[in-house]
């Protein structure tokens, strides 16, 4: 409200103003994909906002009901395409829960390393594109340089650079080569050094802080009520991370790492800068996890033997249902599977974190300037492929 | 708390319409009657022992005899989760076209339900009564039908664009899975191949030539 008074106080009585309807998107660099936001504007102040999604809807849930359990894994890559390994992990764990199988120990640790590498790559995109949203182009190139190294690393066992199809029900698709773990550790050392550069160039930049601190404040209660998860929830000061609180993959319970939360460093708790800073610190925590995991990868099978055979015949889980949630870079991804004993589920529901995080946008935008609206959309870090599925 | 304790607490709350805990599936679930849903979920949210702060997921499952609406709620403070279901029996002869199951909306309990319920309405055709704004969310507003219903038939065209689904199978079906529902014959007025659009006869500019095919002088005539 203060902003409203500030910017309407100088308007003279004889200036004729009217409410303006403005379309942000669907093709706009700051919407990070095909998102359309209908805005009602009073000058530069947003008075109402309505999100229009669905431009990227590909009936993923319908496809899931029509292909076999194992065939659906690569489709999950295409939901949150920046964190393919994490999506596969959630799907694999849901299928394994339904089947009652567990991946061998080596596969569990390889999954942790792959998923954490993917988390760093995903947060790097969030970091780089957020800089672009705020008018800082350089961090983007820094971020893509390191992301390129991660993609090259994951390409070696997975065979592809972005949509890996690496984590599969029963284990992982391929074993690693003998030079892989040392190379991952070398990357970790290099990354920590470069992470300090990111903070010099963006995190501590005065203009960047001015654009993001005290902007888009999401209080704790609001974040919980709207179902926000991941860095958006933690940015509001809620220390909740499924990896720590519900270790869905048991190695997460055996490694040490912190769960960074927003602290209101430069302004109000839960503002854009807090969400940004949670992501930045999570990258370093992921490096910590990877270091410990690399030391603990045992020898042995990388795929459950029974499941390896099952890949040649259709898998038919018993009647039942399973809900599996995992901590993705963007929040909690949940898969709800209902089996009636057939070769494909009768319901395959994906609860995407971006979908829920985006739904809070309509409540956050009213009352702020349009330039801050861009900062808020960027700080939610959505992937439209997962919002629309 | 485990699901059994949560269920015991819910059953002891004095609300009517709370069913038994079903532990036959991998995740145990509580079935409540549609009339008791909002009260039961509000209790789960406000009870100091349950403290379900977050509605994690809302979905619906179409079974042969009923539509099940499923709510996954979780507590961050207490580290527990619960699955709550509402069964809406299918009336005799109830199909995609004739049967719209109805369940009260919980958007007033958790704001997160807003978009989840809109999605279930959009894709499965479950009407959430009392929802503030039950519009389609993923599909275009003019879309007909709810695609995740089992007896949904694919449209022959959308927006004048024929959808040729029969020529190329979308995917290989898993061996042993039931055959897909038969697709309807192509709707009248949507031929497989549209006739080529006529060339434009708009004048190029003042005094310019028109683009009539076969008469020369046009863009495709090649005379110039």
The complex's ipTM works out to 0.86
Contacts of A63 in chain B (CB under 8 A): 171
Contacts of B81 in chain A (CB under 8 A): 323
Q: Is the pLDDT of residue B220 over 90?
A: no
Q: Is the pLDDT of residue A150 over 90?
A: yes
Summarize the confidence of residues B200-218 as an average pLDDT: 46
Q: Is B148's CB within 8 Å of A61's CB?
A: yes
pLDDT band at B195 (very low <50, low <70, confident <90, very high): very low
Q: Is B79's CB within 8 Å of A246's CB?
A: yes
For residue B4, give the H/E element and its range.
Answer: helix B3-11
Q: Is A227's CB within 8 Å of B63's CB?
A: no
Distance CA A228, CA A356 (A): 6
The per-residue pLDDT for B164 is 60
Q: Is B138's CB within 8 Å of A53's CB?
A: yes
pLDDT band at A314 (very low <50, low <70, confident <90, very high): confident
Q: What is the pLDDT of residues B79-125, one digit of tens each?
A: 889 999 999 998 888 888 788 899 999 999 999 999 999 999 999 98
Q: Is B26's CB within 8 Å of A351's CB?
A: no
CATH class of the domain at A60-355+374-388: mainly alpha
Summarize the confidence of residues A144-162 as an average pLDDT: 91
Q: Is B138's CB within 8 Å of A322's CB?
A: no
SS3 content of chain A, % helix, strand, coil (to 5): 50, 15, 35
The per-residue pLDDT for B216 is 43
- Closest-CA distance, A330 to chain B, in angstroms, reads 15
Summarize the confidence of residues A344-362 as an average pLDDT: 91
Contacts of B135 in chain A (CB under 8 A): none
pLDDT band at A292 (very low <50, low <70, confident <90, very high): very high
Q: Return all residues near A273 (Cβ < 8 A) that are at least 6 apart.
A: A209, A212, A213, A215, A265, A266, A267
Q: Is the pLDDT of residue B217 over 80?
A: no
Q: What is the pLDDT of residues A320-341, one digit of tens each?
A: 889 999 999 999 999 999 998 8
The per-residue pLDDT for B213 is 46
Summarize the confidence of residues B25-51 as an average pLDDT: 88
- As beta bridge partners, residue B89 has B66
Q: Is the dihedral of CA A293, A294, A299, A301 positive or negative?
A: positive
| Greater model confidence, A28 or B204 | A28
| Greater model confidence, B2 or A354 | A354
Tokens of A189: 């050392």
- Closest-CA distance, A309 to chain B, in angstroms, reads 16
Helix (H, G, I), strand (E, B) or coil at A360: coil
Q: Return all residues near B197 (Cβ < 8 A) that are at least 6 apart.
A: none
The per-residue pLDDT for A14 is 64
- Closest-CA distance, B60 to chain A, in angstroms, reads 8
Mean of per-residue pLDDT scores for chain A:
88
In terms of DSSP H, where are the helices of chain A? 2-8, 60-64, 73-77, 84-99, 105-133, 138-158, 180-198, 206-212, 220-225, 231-235, 242-245, 272-294, 305-310, 353-359, 361-364, 370-380, 384-388
Q: What is the pLDDT of residues B116-139, one digit of tens each?
A: 999 999 999 899 999 888 888 998
Where is average pLDDT lowest: A119-123, A359-363, B97-101, B115-119? B97-101
Contacts of B63 in chain A (CB under 8 A): 346
Contacts of B137 in chain A (CB under 8 A): 53-54
The per-residue pLDDT for A341 is 84
Select the residue of A240, A347, A359 nearest B61 (Cβ to Cβ).
A347
Q: Is the pLDDT of residue B211 over 60?
A: no
The per-residue pLDDT for B168 is 46
Give the domains, in start order, of chain B with CATH numbers.
3-129 (3.30.460.80), 152-182 (no CATH)
Q: Is A71's CB within 8 Å of B174's CB?
A: yes
Q: Which of B62, B149, B177 is best to mutate for the A interface (most A CBs within 10 A)?
A: B177
The per-residue pLDDT for B193 is 46
Q: Which of A72, A247, A321 is best to mutate for the B interface (most B CBs within 10 A)?
A: A321
Q: Is the pLDDT of residue A296 over 50?
A: yes
Where is average pLDDT lowest: A41-45, A205-209, A228-232? A41-45
Tokens of A89: 């992990």
Contacts of B180 in chain A (CB under 8 A): 66
For residue B41, give the H/E element and its range.
Answer: helix B37-46
Summarize the confidence of residues A281-302 as an average pLDDT: 92
pLDDT band at A123 (very low <50, low <70, confident <90, very high): very high
Q: Is B110's CB within 8 Å of A347's CB?
A: no
- How many other C-beta atoms lie within 10 A of the C-beta of residue B116? 26
A341 touches chain B (CB under 8 A): no
The per-residue pLDDT for A13 is 62
Q: Return all residues near A182 (Cβ < 8 A) that are at least 6 apart.
A: none
């Amino acid at each position: 409200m203060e902003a409203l008074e500030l910017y309407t106080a100088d308007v003279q009585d004889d200036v004729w103003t009217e409410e303006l309807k403005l379309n942000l998107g669907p093709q706009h660099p700051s919407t990070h994909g095909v998102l359309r936001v209908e805005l009602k504007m009073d000058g530069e102040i947003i008075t109402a906002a309505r999100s229009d999604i669905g431009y990227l809807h590909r009936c993923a849930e319908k496809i899931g009901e029509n292909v076999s359990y194992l065939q659906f894994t690569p489709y999950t890559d295409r939901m949150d395409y920046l964190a393919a390994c994490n999506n596969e992990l959630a799907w694999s764990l849901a299928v394994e829960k339904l089947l009652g199988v567990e991946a061998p120990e080596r596969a569990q640790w390889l999954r942790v390393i792959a998923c954490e590498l993917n988390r760093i790559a995903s947060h790097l995109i969030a970091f780089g594109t957020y800089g672009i949203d705020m008018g800082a182009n350089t961090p983007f190139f820094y971020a893509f340089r390191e992301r390129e190294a991660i993609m090259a690393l994951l390409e070696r066992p997975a065979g592809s650079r972005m949509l890996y199809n690496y984590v599969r029900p029963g284990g992982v698709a391929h074993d690693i080569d003998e030079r892989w773990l040392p190379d991952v550790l070398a990357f970790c050392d290099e990354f920590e050094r470069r992470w300090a550069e990111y903070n010099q160039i963006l995190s501590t930049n005065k203009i960047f802080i001015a654009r993001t601190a005290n902007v888009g404040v999401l209080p704790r209660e609001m974040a919980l009520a709207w179902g926000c998860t991941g860095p958006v929830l933690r940015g509001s000061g809620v220390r909740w991370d499924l990896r720590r609180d519900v270790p869905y993959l048991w190695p997460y319970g055996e490694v040490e790492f912190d769960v960074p939360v927003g602290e209101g460093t430069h302004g109000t708790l839960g503002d854009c800068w807090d969400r940004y800073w949670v992501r930045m610190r999570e990258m370093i925590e992921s490096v910590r996890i990877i270091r410990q995991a690399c030391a603990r990868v045992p020898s042995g099978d990388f795929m459950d033997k029974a499941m390896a055979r099952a890949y040649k015949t259709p898998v038919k889980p018993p009647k039942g249902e399973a809900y599996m949630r995992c901590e993705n870079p963007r929040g909690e991804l949940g898969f709800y599977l209902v089996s009636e004993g057939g070769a494909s589920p009768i319901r395959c529901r994906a609860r995407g974190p971006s979908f829920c995080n985006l739904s809070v946008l309509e409540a956050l935008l009213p009352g702020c300037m349009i330039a801050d609206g861009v900062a808020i959309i960027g700080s939610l870090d959505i992937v439209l492929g997962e919002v629309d599925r | 708390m485990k699901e059994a304790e949560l269920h015991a607490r819910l059953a002891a709350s004095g609300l009517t319409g709370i069913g038994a805990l079903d532990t036959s599936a991998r995740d145990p679930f509580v079935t409540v009657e549609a009339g008791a849903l909002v009260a039961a979920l509000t209790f789960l949210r406000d009870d100091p022992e349950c403290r379900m702060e977050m509605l994690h997921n809302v979905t619906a499952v179409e079974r042969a005899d009923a539509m099940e609406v499923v709510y996954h709620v979780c507590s961050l403070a207490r580290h527990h989760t619960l699955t709550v279901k509402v069964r809406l029996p299918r009336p005799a002869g109830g199909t995609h076209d004739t049967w719209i199951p109805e369940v009260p909306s919980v958007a007033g309990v958790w704001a997160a339900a807003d978009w989840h319920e809109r999605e279930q309405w959009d894709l499965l055709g479950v009407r959430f009564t009392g929802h503030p704004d039950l519009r389609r969310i993923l599909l275009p507003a003019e879309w007909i039908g709810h695609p995740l219903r089992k007896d949904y038939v694919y449209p022959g065209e959308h927006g004048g664009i024929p959808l040729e689904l029969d020529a190329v199978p979308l995917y290989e079906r898993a061996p042993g899975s039931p055959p897909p529902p038969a697709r309807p014959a192509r709707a009248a007025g949507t031929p497989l191949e549209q006739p080529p659009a006529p060339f434009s006869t708009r004048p190029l500019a003042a005094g310019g030539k028109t683009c009539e095919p076969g008469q020369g002088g046009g863009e495709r005539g090649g005379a110039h």
